[in-house]
Amino acid sequence: MAVTDPAVGASAPDFRTRLQHWIPKIVLSPSLAMIFVFVYGFIAFTVYLSFTDSRMLPSFGWVGWENYSKLWRLSHWEISLINMAIFAGLYIVVCTAIGLMLAIFLDQKIRGEGVLRPLYLYPMALSFIVTGTAWKWFLDPGIGLENVMHTWGWTSFSFDWIKNRDFAIYTVVLAAVWQTSGFVMAMFLAGLRGIDNEILKAAQMDGASNWNLYRRIIIPQLRPAFLSAFVILAHLAIKTFDLVIALTGGGPGRATELPATFMYSYTFTRNQMGIGAASAVIMLMTIAAIMIPYLYAELREKK
Protein backbone atom coordinates (compact mmCIF):
# COMPACT_ATOMS: atom_id res chain seq x y z
CA MET A 1 0.00 0.00 0.00
CA ALA A 2 1.30 3.44 -0.87
CA VAL A 3 2.15 5.59 2.10
CA THR A 4 2.17 8.91 0.32
CA ASP A 5 -0.05 11.52 1.79
CA PRO A 6 -2.64 12.34 -0.84
CA ALA A 7 -2.69 16.00 0.09
CA VAL A 8 1.01 16.46 -0.50
CA GLY A 9 0.58 16.25 -4.24
CA ALA A 10 -1.29 19.53 -4.47
CA SER A 11 0.88 22.47 -5.43
CA ALA A 12 0.53 25.97 -3.95
CA PRO A 13 -1.43 24.91 -0.88
CA ASP A 14 -4.33 27.29 -0.34
CA PHE A 15 -6.31 27.34 2.86
CA ARG A 16 -8.66 24.57 1.80
CA THR A 17 -5.95 22.07 0.94
CA ARG A 18 -4.08 22.96 4.12
CA LEU A 19 -7.24 22.23 6.02
CA GLN A 20 -7.61 18.97 4.11
CA HIS A 21 -4.11 18.17 5.20
CA TRP A 22 -4.92 18.67 8.84
CA ILE A 23 -8.36 17.11 8.97
CA PRO A 24 -7.16 13.50 9.31
CA LYS A 25 -5.02 14.40 12.27
CA ILE A 26 -7.77 16.44 13.86
CA VAL A 27 -10.16 13.51 13.45
CA LEU A 28 -7.70 11.17 15.11
CA SER A 29 -6.73 13.43 17.98
CA PRO A 30 -9.68 13.05 20.40
CA SER A 31 -9.25 9.28 20.43
CA LEU A 32 -5.53 9.59 20.98
CA ALA A 33 -5.94 12.14 23.73
CA MET A 34 -8.38 9.88 25.59
CA ILE A 35 -6.10 6.90 25.26
CA PHE A 36 -3.04 8.78 26.43
CA VAL A 37 -4.79 10.01 29.56
CA PHE A 38 -7.01 7.07 30.47
CA VAL A 39 -4.72 4.27 29.44
CA TYR A 40 -1.10 5.34 29.51
CA GLY A 41 -1.61 7.83 32.32
CA PHE A 42 -3.27 5.16 34.43
CA ILE A 43 -0.57 2.64 33.59
CA ALA A 44 2.05 5.11 34.83
CA PHE A 45 0.01 5.58 37.98
CA THR A 46 -0.15 1.81 38.51
CA VAL A 47 3.58 1.45 38.07
CA TYR A 48 3.99 4.09 40.75
CA LEU A 49 1.50 2.35 43.05
CA SER A 50 3.41 -0.90 42.75
CA PHE A 51 6.27 0.72 44.64
CA THR A 52 4.10 2.02 47.45
CA ASP A 53 2.56 0.62 50.60
CA SER A 54 -0.99 1.01 49.26
CA ARG A 55 -3.46 -1.30 50.92
CA MET A 56 -7.17 -0.44 50.92
CA LEU A 57 -6.78 2.86 49.08
CA PRO A 58 -3.81 4.30 47.20
CA SER A 59 -1.24 5.69 49.59
CA PHE A 60 2.17 7.03 48.79
CA GLY A 61 4.71 5.59 51.17
CA TRP A 62 7.62 4.38 49.06
CA VAL A 63 8.60 0.75 49.72
CA GLY A 64 10.88 0.03 46.75
CA TRP A 65 10.75 -3.50 45.38
CA GLU A 66 9.04 -5.03 48.41
CA ASN A 67 5.73 -5.73 46.62
CA TYR A 68 7.55 -7.49 43.81
CA SER A 69 9.56 -9.68 46.14
CA LYS A 70 6.40 -10.59 48.07
CA LEU A 71 4.63 -11.35 44.81
CA TRP A 72 7.20 -13.92 43.75
CA ARG A 73 7.01 -15.62 47.13
CA LEU A 74 3.31 -16.36 46.58
CA SER A 75 2.92 -19.83 45.18
CA HIS A 76 -0.42 -19.16 43.57
CA TRP A 77 0.95 -16.26 41.56
CA GLU A 78 3.12 -18.81 39.82
CA ILE A 79 0.15 -21.14 39.45
CA SER A 80 -1.85 -18.36 37.89
CA LEU A 81 0.93 -17.59 35.40
CA ILE A 82 1.22 -21.23 34.37
CA ASN A 83 -2.56 -21.45 34.03
CA MET A 84 -2.47 -18.32 31.91
CA ALA A 85 -0.02 -19.90 29.49
CA ILE A 86 -2.09 -23.08 29.16
CA PHE A 87 -5.37 -21.27 28.98
CA ALA A 88 -4.38 -18.49 26.59
CA GLY A 89 -2.51 -20.81 24.24
CA LEU A 90 -5.32 -23.34 23.90
CA TYR A 91 -8.07 -20.76 23.87
CA ILE A 92 -6.57 -18.62 21.12
CA VAL A 93 -5.68 -21.55 18.88
CA VAL A 94 -8.95 -23.44 19.30
CA CYS A 95 -11.14 -20.36 18.93
CA THR A 96 -9.33 -19.24 15.79
CA ALA A 97 -9.53 -22.71 14.24
CA ILE A 98 -13.22 -23.17 15.01
CA GLY A 99 -14.08 -19.60 14.05
CA LEU A 100 -12.30 -19.83 10.71
CA MET A 101 -13.78 -23.23 9.93
CA LEU A 102 -17.33 -22.14 10.72
CA ALA A 103 -16.91 -18.93 8.73
CA ILE A 104 -15.65 -20.79 5.66
CA PHE A 105 -18.44 -23.35 5.94
CA LEU A 106 -21.10 -20.70 6.43
CA ASP A 107 -19.80 -18.89 3.37
CA GLN A 108 -20.81 -21.82 1.09
CA LYS A 109 -24.33 -20.60 0.27
CA ILE A 110 -25.68 -22.37 3.31
CA ARG A 111 -29.42 -22.61 3.63
CA GLY A 112 -30.45 -21.33 7.04
CA GLU A 113 -27.38 -19.15 7.52
CA GLY A 114 -29.65 -16.54 9.06
CA VAL A 115 -30.65 -19.06 11.73
CA LEU A 116 -27.22 -20.55 12.36
CA ARG A 117 -25.34 -17.26 12.68
CA PRO A 118 -27.21 -16.01 15.76
CA LEU A 119 -27.06 -19.52 17.21
CA TYR A 120 -23.27 -19.41 17.05
CA LEU A 121 -23.15 -15.87 18.35
CA TYR A 122 -25.64 -15.95 21.18
CA PRO A 123 -23.23 -17.21 23.89
CA MET A 124 -21.57 -13.79 23.73
CA ALA A 125 -24.82 -12.21 24.85
CA LEU A 126 -25.10 -14.14 28.08
CA SER A 127 -23.38 -12.91 31.16
CA PHE A 128 -21.22 -15.52 32.80
CA ILE A 129 -22.52 -14.85 36.28
CA VAL A 130 -25.45 -17.07 35.32
CA THR A 131 -24.14 -19.11 32.41
CA GLY A 132 -21.32 -20.20 34.68
CA THR A 133 -23.88 -21.99 36.83
CA ALA A 134 -25.31 -23.81 33.82
CA TRP A 135 -21.85 -24.92 32.76
CA LYS A 136 -20.95 -25.88 36.30
CA TRP A 137 -23.95 -28.17 36.52
CA PHE A 138 -23.41 -29.58 33.06
CA LEU A 139 -19.79 -30.44 33.83
CA ASP A 140 -20.50 -31.72 37.34
CA PRO A 141 -20.21 -35.50 37.29
CA GLY A 142 -22.94 -35.88 39.91
CA ILE A 143 -25.67 -34.00 38.08
CA GLY A 144 -24.43 -33.24 34.57
CA LEU A 145 -23.18 -35.06 31.51
CA GLU A 146 -21.65 -38.01 33.36
CA ASN A 147 -24.83 -38.63 35.29
CA VAL A 148 -26.97 -38.41 32.15
CA MET A 149 -24.74 -40.93 30.37
CA HIS A 150 -24.98 -43.24 33.35
CA THR A 151 -28.78 -43.10 33.38
CA TRP A 152 -28.72 -43.85 29.66
CA GLY A 153 -26.84 -47.02 30.45
CA TRP A 154 -23.26 -46.02 29.58
CA THR A 155 -22.03 -46.60 33.11
CA SER A 156 -18.31 -46.56 32.36
CA PHE A 157 -18.54 -43.00 31.02
CA SER A 158 -16.47 -40.63 33.09
CA PHE A 159 -16.08 -36.88 32.79
CA ASP A 160 -14.98 -35.29 36.02
CA TRP A 161 -12.43 -32.74 34.81
CA ILE A 162 -14.00 -29.89 36.72
CA LYS A 163 -13.37 -31.69 40.01
CA ASN A 164 -9.81 -32.58 39.10
CA ARG A 165 -7.01 -30.19 39.94
CA ASP A 166 -5.00 -31.14 36.88
CA PHE A 167 -7.84 -30.90 34.38
CA ALA A 168 -10.11 -28.17 35.71
CA ILE A 169 -8.33 -25.51 33.67
CA TYR A 170 -9.42 -27.30 30.47
CA THR A 171 -13.07 -26.95 31.41
CA VAL A 172 -12.44 -23.22 31.67
CA VAL A 173 -11.02 -23.35 28.14
CA LEU A 174 -14.08 -25.27 26.96
CA ALA A 175 -16.56 -22.74 28.34
CA ALA A 176 -14.47 -19.82 27.07
CA VAL A 177 -14.31 -21.30 23.57
CA TRP A 178 -18.04 -21.82 23.70
CA GLN A 179 -18.56 -18.17 24.47
CA THR A 180 -16.35 -16.45 21.90
CA SER A 181 -15.71 -18.79 18.98
CA GLY A 182 -18.95 -17.57 17.40
CA PHE A 183 -17.70 -14.01 17.47
CA VAL A 184 -14.42 -15.02 15.86
CA MET A 185 -16.55 -16.70 13.20
CA ALA A 186 -18.28 -13.34 12.61
CA MET A 187 -14.93 -11.56 12.24
CA PHE A 188 -13.71 -14.03 9.65
CA LEU A 189 -17.06 -13.99 7.91
CA ALA A 190 -16.82 -10.20 7.56
CA GLY A 191 -13.33 -10.68 6.14
CA LEU A 192 -14.49 -13.36 3.68
CA ARG A 193 -17.34 -11.22 2.51
CA GLY A 194 -14.96 -8.38 1.81
CA ILE A 195 -12.84 -10.42 -0.60
CA ASP A 196 -13.10 -9.64 -4.27
CA ASN A 197 -14.82 -12.49 -6.08
CA GLU A 198 -13.27 -11.60 -9.43
CA ILE A 199 -9.89 -12.86 -8.31
CA LEU A 200 -11.44 -16.13 -7.17
CA LYS A 201 -13.25 -16.61 -10.44
CA ALA A 202 -10.08 -15.98 -12.38
CA ALA A 203 -8.19 -18.50 -10.30
CA GLN A 204 -11.00 -21.01 -10.69
CA MET A 205 -10.80 -20.70 -14.45
CA ASP A 206 -7.13 -21.53 -14.16
CA GLY A 207 -8.28 -24.79 -12.61
CA ALA A 208 -7.37 -24.18 -8.97
CA SER A 209 -9.01 -26.55 -6.52
CA ASN A 210 -11.07 -25.26 -3.60
CA TRP A 211 -8.36 -26.28 -1.20
CA ASN A 212 -5.73 -24.34 -3.12
CA LEU A 213 -8.08 -21.42 -3.55
CA TYR A 214 -8.37 -21.11 0.21
CA ARG A 215 -4.78 -21.85 0.98
CA ARG A 216 -3.21 -19.64 -1.68
CA ILE A 217 -5.66 -16.79 -2.14
CA ILE A 218 -8.37 -16.46 0.44
CA ILE A 219 -6.60 -17.14 3.72
CA PRO A 220 -3.65 -14.87 2.90
CA GLN A 221 -6.20 -12.12 2.18
CA LEU A 222 -7.61 -12.65 5.66
CA ARG A 223 -4.38 -11.56 7.33
CA PRO A 224 -5.87 -8.39 8.79
CA ALA A 225 -8.76 -10.47 10.15
CA PHE A 226 -6.26 -12.81 11.80
CA LEU A 227 -4.64 -9.81 13.44
CA SER A 228 -8.02 -8.66 14.74
CA ALA A 229 -8.85 -12.14 15.97
CA PHE A 230 -5.53 -12.51 17.71
CA VAL A 231 -5.74 -9.17 19.48
CA ILE A 232 -9.33 -9.78 20.56
CA LEU A 233 -8.68 -13.30 21.78
CA ALA A 234 -5.45 -12.41 23.55
CA HIS A 235 -7.20 -9.57 25.27
CA LEU A 236 -10.11 -11.78 26.30
CA ALA A 237 -7.78 -14.48 27.54
CA ILE A 238 -5.96 -12.02 29.74
CA LYS A 239 -9.13 -10.50 31.09
CA THR A 240 -10.99 -13.77 31.70
CA PHE A 241 -12.42 -13.19 35.13
CA ASP A 242 -16.19 -13.71 35.46
CA LEU A 243 -15.92 -17.11 33.86
CA VAL A 244 -13.44 -18.45 36.38
CA ILE A 245 -15.30 -16.93 39.30
CA ALA A 246 -18.59 -18.45 38.19
CA LEU A 247 -17.34 -21.80 36.94
CA THR A 248 -14.74 -22.89 39.44
CA GLY A 249 -14.22 -19.96 41.79
CA GLY A 250 -10.52 -20.48 41.12
CA GLY A 251 -10.75 -24.03 42.43
CA PRO A 252 -10.46 -26.89 43.11
CA GLY A 253 -8.14 -25.37 45.67
CA ARG A 254 -6.44 -22.62 43.70
CA ALA A 255 -5.97 -24.77 40.60
CA THR A 256 -7.72 -22.46 38.14
CA GLU A 257 -6.53 -19.11 39.43
CA LEU A 258 -5.65 -16.74 36.59
CA PRO A 259 -3.72 -13.45 36.71
CA ALA A 260 -6.95 -11.45 36.34
CA THR A 261 -8.53 -13.12 39.37
CA PHE A 262 -5.25 -12.77 41.22
CA MET A 263 -5.02 -9.05 40.48
CA TYR A 264 -8.60 -8.41 41.47
CA SER A 265 -8.29 -10.41 44.63
CA TYR A 266 -5.14 -8.62 45.82
CA THR A 267 -6.21 -5.16 44.76
CA PHE A 268 -9.72 -5.28 46.14
CA THR A 269 -10.67 -8.22 48.33
CA ARG A 270 -7.37 -8.65 50.13
CA ASN A 271 -6.62 -4.95 50.57
CA GLN A 272 -3.09 -5.38 49.26
CA MET A 273 -3.26 -2.88 46.44
CA GLY A 274 0.52 -2.61 46.23
CA ILE A 275 0.90 -6.31 45.40
CA GLY A 276 -2.08 -6.11 43.07
CA ALA A 277 -0.44 -3.24 41.20
CA ALA A 278 2.85 -5.13 41.03
CA SER A 279 1.11 -8.13 39.48
CA ALA A 280 -0.62 -5.84 36.98
CA VAL A 281 2.73 -4.35 35.98
CA ILE A 282 4.21 -7.80 35.44
CA MET A 283 1.18 -8.75 33.34
CA LEU A 284 1.46 -5.62 31.22
CA MET A 285 5.15 -6.26 30.68
CA THR A 286 4.47 -9.83 29.63
CA ILE A 287 1.80 -8.66 27.21
CA ALA A 288 4.17 -6.07 25.83
CA ALA A 289 6.90 -8.67 25.38
CA ILE A 290 4.54 -10.79 23.28
CA MET A 291 2.57 -8.10 21.48
CA ILE A 292 5.25 -5.63 20.45
CA PRO A 293 7.27 -8.04 18.29
CA TYR A 294 4.05 -9.40 16.80
CA LEU A 295 2.64 -5.94 16.04
CA TYR A 296 6.00 -4.83 14.70
CA ALA A 297 6.18 -7.72 12.27
CA GLU A 298 2.52 -7.47 11.32
CA LEU A 299 2.36 -3.74 10.76
CA ARG A 300 5.77 -3.25 9.19
CA GLU A 301 5.16 -5.64 6.33
CA LYS A 302 2.38 -3.49 5.01
CA LYS A 303 4.86 -1.04 3.51
Residues between 71 and 100 with contacts to other proteins, criterion CB under 8 A? 73-76, 98
Binding mask 30-69 for other proteins (x = CB under 8 A): xxx-xx-xxxxxxxxxx-x------xxxxxx---------
Q: How far is the CB of 253 from other proteins (least distance, A)?
A: 4
Asked if 289 touches other proteins (CB under 8 A), the answer is no
Q: How far is the CB of 233 from other proteins (least distance, A)?
A: 11
Strand partners, 52: 62
How far is it, in rounded angstroms, from Cα 239 to Cα 91? 13
Strand partners, 62: 52
How far is it, in rounded angstroms, from Cα 185 to Cα 26? 34
Asked if 1 touches other proteins (CB under 8 A), the answer is yes
Core vs surface per residue 99-125: b (16+ CB within 10 A) or e: bbebbbebbeeeeeeeebbeebeebee
**Which of 173, 233, 243, 260: binder of other proteins (CB under 8 A)?**
260
**Which of 13, 89, 118, 293: binder of other proteins (CB under 8 A)?**
118
Footprint of other proteins on 119-148 (CB under 8 A): 119-127, 129-131, 133-138, 140-144, 147-148
**Which of 18, 215, 216, 239: binder of other proteins (CB under 8 A)?**
239
How far is it, in rounded angstroms, from Cα 263 to Cα 1? 42
**Which of 94, 157, 159, 252: binder of other proteins (CB under 8 A)?**
252
Q: How far is the CB of 123 from other proteins (least distance, A)?
A: 6
**Which of 159, 161, 170, 264: binder of other proteins (CB under 8 A)?**
264
User: Which CB atom, from 86 or from 105, has the smaller least distance to other proteins?
Assistant: 105
Taking CA atoms, 285 is separated from 43, 94, 235, 275, 288, in Å, by 11, 25, 14, 15, 5
3-class DSSP state of 60: coil
Asked if 244 touches other proteins (CB under 8 A), the answer is no
Q: Which candidate, 171, 187, 192, 181, places its Cα nearest to that of 120?
A: 181
Asked if 242 touches other proteins (CB under 8 A), the answer is yes
Footprint of other proteins on 168-227 (CB under 8 A): 178, 182-183, 186-187, 189-198, 200-201, 204, 210, 213, 221, 224-225, 227
Footprint of other proteins on 266-285 (CB under 8 A): 267-272, 276-277, 280, 283-284
Asked if 161 touches other proteins (CB under 8 A), the answer is no
φ, ψ dihedrals at 62, nearest 5°: -75, 130
SS3 annotation, 130-168: HHHHHHHHHHCCCCCHHHHHHHCCCCCCCCCHHHCCCCH
Could you count the other beta carbons within 10 Å of the beta carbon of residue 249? 14
Q: How far is the CB of 204 from other proteins (least distance, A)?
A: 6
